[in-house]
Structure 1
Amino acid sequence: MSQLTVKSLFEGRKGFRHDDQPRLGVLVTNLGTPDAPTTPALRRYLHEFLWDPRVVEAPRWIWWLILNGIVLRTRPKKSAAAYREVWTEEGSPLLIIGRKQTRGILERLQSRLQGPVVAELAMRYGNPSIASGLRRLRDQGAERIVVLPLYPQYSGSTTGSTFDAVADELKRWRWVPEFRFIGQYHDDERYIEALAASIREHWAEHGRGEKLLFSFHGTPRRYLLDGDPYHCQCQKTARLVAERLELSDEAWQVTFQSLFGKEVWLQPYTDATVEQLARSGLKTLDVICPGFSADCLETLEEIEGENAEIFQEHGGDKLRYIKALNDRDDHLEMLAGLVHEHSQGWPEAGGPARTLRDPQATQERARALGSDV
């Protein structure tokens, strides 16, 4: 590699400074959102999302033809119309809630940790990007970073893809920070109890439906057969919540939503199940989406909108969507607890082996040795 290439690779990237105040950085990530509910914005967003080989595992040249020749010519307009149904004056619900979650996690960590901490929100697709979030943490002096993807259940197409994006950015840094990555929390007792509490509160306010549906985002069935643990972790989450609520086997069911393409996905499908339950004479149906940490298009437009219409069109009275955990206090406490646990041993968490560097003393010693940084 030439000197020019090396220089270009690291150009403009902040390196070590003796007067930095070292701190813990937390990168809170979620899937993403378009910049606006418009066809051009959706075309950009969907291209980035659907071109990710973790999301669509297909030969690249075949998928390139399908994506650019068919999908991006038709889907952006339809998706933009759907996003307009949930868009607010402040913007995308996922982005608004994500900012609240990040602030809430940071506030709780500041009261728990013994050293300084900063937090940034980033999206796997769209803005703010994972690369920009990591750079903001670095520029605030983060020498240790915990990445918290807000996916309770691990999937290669979500959590794995997030790791890829983090690695793609960090491999370009001259000084790579100490790094920890939270891969899953599908069976964390605090997460299970927060879900159960949200259901209890919904029932207390609206009454209990005849059945509780746990609807998770789907993935191609092939991913499960190739070793992805997502399906099993979804089943475990639902089972643990049902046990916490003391539900009979007939009172709850797991389904999968957001089918895309003609390939067989994880089953049973949510929309088909909603229709079948309505046709069977069920009048009230409660639906919760435990895989979504924040309300977004898939919960607000697809479940609360489309599936509620399907239920009523086929004989049901009310499909009541139970909101995501969003910025509930018990949810934020759980997430902050995860970060705290994963930062054990580091000086900000009271690690016994090291102390936080004193920037003033460090700089004075460095100047004495002739350093100008």
Structure 2
Amino acid sequence: MQQADNPLPVSDKVGVLLVNLGTPTAPTAKALRRYLGQFLSDRRVIELPPALWQIILQGIILPFRSPRSARAYKKIWTKDGSPLAAITAQQSKALQQHMPNIVIDYAMRYGEPSIPSRIEKLIASGCRRILLAPLYPQYSAASTATVQDEAYRYLQKIRWQPALRSLESYYTHPAYIQALKINLEKQLANLNFKPDCLLLSYHGMPVKTREEGDPYYYQCMATSQALSSVLNIKIITSFQSRFGSQKWFTPATDVTLQNLPQQNVQNLAVAMPGFAADCLETLEEIALQGRQTFLDAGGKNFATLSCLNDSEEGISMLKTLVEQAISGWL
């Protein structure tokens, strides 16, 4: 077949799509209802019978949670919009500068820019090989797998598909642990107090996910163990963002923050290594709510450490992970 007969130009371009969870387009109840409606309708996220769940979601949860979440987002909203979206865009731009021979873009699993729209854009730019890169160090069906689900749903609709790879979870990858070590040590050194310990808070999941074979819990604990071996500070692990009445991973971060002052921890630093970019869960739930919980319980000093974001060490880590993942494509 001659090139003129091809529906797309023949190209050896490689594309990389960085994907994060998602965010509303504005800190309003209307935008939150649309975003949460999409997020909480995902069968990977809420594993309940859809007919029953949609009655609960549309009739009870969205009418009450959307305004409450909008108020929380307003506290962290910036001139560039949602911190998560802005930082992910910055990560994409910075990685592109470090890897000019490939095409870098980003998407959100829920909200905009969508995964289908950005895969379509990469294909239109001539990318016949695409690395799907969910920015989740620890694998979970409710995060990593749903990104892959969405990508393949789009690919089912097109005839000429690109070659597709997915970035593996990197919870103990040397580049990830080294990036965290450097980044966290810098931030700890710049504090105006010496923490008694470092709390590593990961996003929580229902216990049943672990019982059904999801490796997320064990990968979080493996990350904490790896960091314990390279950081010269006592480390405690907890899980945040409980939702609903199910039994969730313990210890819970909010309970831990309330109890630590009674356990002779008066000075505390908190890091969230499961998040690739700062977002509502880090900036509002921990930096604002968590701080208040700790201080009200008798704590003296509290610091929330930033995620890797688009830091030099964070981008260097992403470059290493991407290079390894696309090995043989260039």
Quote the Cα distance in structure 1 between the aligned partners of 2:110 and 2:231.
36
Segment drifting more, 96-105 vs 45-54: 96-105
Segment drifting more, 64-73 vs 156-165: 64-73
8 Å contact from structure 1 (residues 214, 253) kept in 2: yes
| Equivalent in the alignment of 1:261 | 244
8 Å contact from structure 1 (residues 22, 141) kept in 2: yes
Structure 2 vs 1, CA of residues 18 and 138 (structure 1 numbering), >3 Å: closer, same or farther?
closer
Q: Is 1:129 matched with 2:126? A: no
Q: Percent identity?
A: 40
Q: Is 1:214 matched with 2:200? A: yes
| CA deviations over 1:23-62 (Å, ceiling 9, x no partner) | 1011110000000000000000000000000001111112
TM-score (norm 1): 0.85
Larger radius of gyration: 1
Q: CA deviation at 1:208?
A: 2.8
8 Å contact from structure 2 (residues 182, 313) kept in 1: no
8 Å contact from structure 1 (residues 106, 336) kept in 2: no
8 Å contact from structure 1 (residues 198, 325) kept in 2: yes
Q: CA deviation at 1:330?
A: 1.3
| Equivalent in the alignment of 1:371 | none
Quote the Cα distance in structure 1 between the aligned partners of 2:35 and 2:277.
19
| Equivalent in the alignment of 2:89 | 99
| Equivalent in the alignment of 2:155 | 170
Q: Is 1:34 matched with 2:17? A: no
Say which SS state the counterpart of residue 214 (structure 1) adopts. strand
| Equivalent in the alignment of 2:48 | 58
**212, 226, 238: which is aligned to 1:226?**
212
Structure 2 vs 1, CA of residues 29 and 18 (structure 1 numbering), >3 Å: closer, same or farther?
closer
Quote the Cα distance in structure 2 between the aligned partners of 1:178 and 1:76.
39
| Equivalent in the alignment of 2:305 | 322
After TM superposition, the structure 1 = structure 2 runs for residues 269-308 of structure 1, keeping only pairs within 5 Å, are 269-308=252-291
Return the letter of the residue paired with 1:191.
Answer: Y
| CA deviations over 1:136-193 (Å, ceiling 9, x no partner) | 1011011000011100000000001001000001111110111110130111111101
**88, 93, 96: which is aligned to 2:78?**
88
8 Å contact from structure 1 (residues 27, 122) kept in 2: yes
Say which SS state the counterpart of residue 190 (structure 2) adopts. helix
Structure 2 vs 1, CA of residues 244 and 232 (structure 1 numbering), >3 Å: closer, same or farther?
same
Quote the Cα distance in structure 1 between the aligned partners of 2:115 and 2:281.
22
Q: Is 1:117 matched with 2:102? A: yes
Say which SS state the counterpart of residue 144 (structure 2) adopts. helix
Return the letter of the residue paired with 1:272.
Answer: V
Say which SS state the counterpart of residue 91 (structure 1) adopts. coil
Q: CA deviation at 1:120?
A: 1.2
Quote the Cα distance in structure 1 between the aligned partners of 2:6 and 2:298.
65
Return the letter of the residue paired with 1:144.
Answer: R
Say which SS state the counterpart of residue 244 (structure 1) adopts. coil
**117, 137, 152: which is aligned to 2:137?**
152
Q: CA deviation at 1:269?
A: 0.1
Return the letter of the residue paired with 1:253.
Answer: I
**89, 94, 98: which is aligned to 1:108?**
98
8 Å contact from structure 1 (residues 23, 118) kept in 2: yes
- Report how many residues are paired: 325
Q: CA deviation at 1:19?
A: 4.4
Quote the Cα distance in structure 1 between the aligned partners of 2:305 and 2:244.
27
Return the letter of the residue paired with 2:58.
Answer: N
Quote the Cα distance in structure 2 between the aligned partners of 1:242 and 1:179.
35
8 Å contact from structure 1 (residues 33, 92) kept in 2: yes
Quote the Cα distance in structure 2 between the aligned partners of 1:233 and 1:222.
16
Return the letter of the residue paired with 2:120.
Answer: R
Say which SS state the counterpart of residue 315 (structure 1) adopts. coil
Quote the Cα distance in structure 2 between the aligned partners of 1:55 and 1:70.
18
Quote the Cα distance in structure 2 between the aligned partners of 1:282 and 1:340.
42
Structure 2 vs 1, CA of residues 17 and 228 (structure 1 numbering), >3 Å: closer, same or farther?
same
Provide the alpha-carbon RMSD of the alignment: 1.3
8 Å contact from structure 1 (residues 120, 136) kept in 2: no
Quote the Cα distance in structure 2 between the aligned partners of 1:117 and 1:193.
25
TM-score (norm 2): 0.96
Q: CA deviation at 1:18?
A: 6.3
After TM superposition, the structure 1 = structure 2 runs for residues 353-372 of structure 1, keeping only pairs within 5 Å, are none
| CA deviations over 1:259-294 (Å, ceiling 9, x no partner) | 001111111000000000023342111100000000
Q: CA deviation at 1:65?
A: 1.3
8 Å contact from structure 2 (residues 9, 126) kept in 1: no
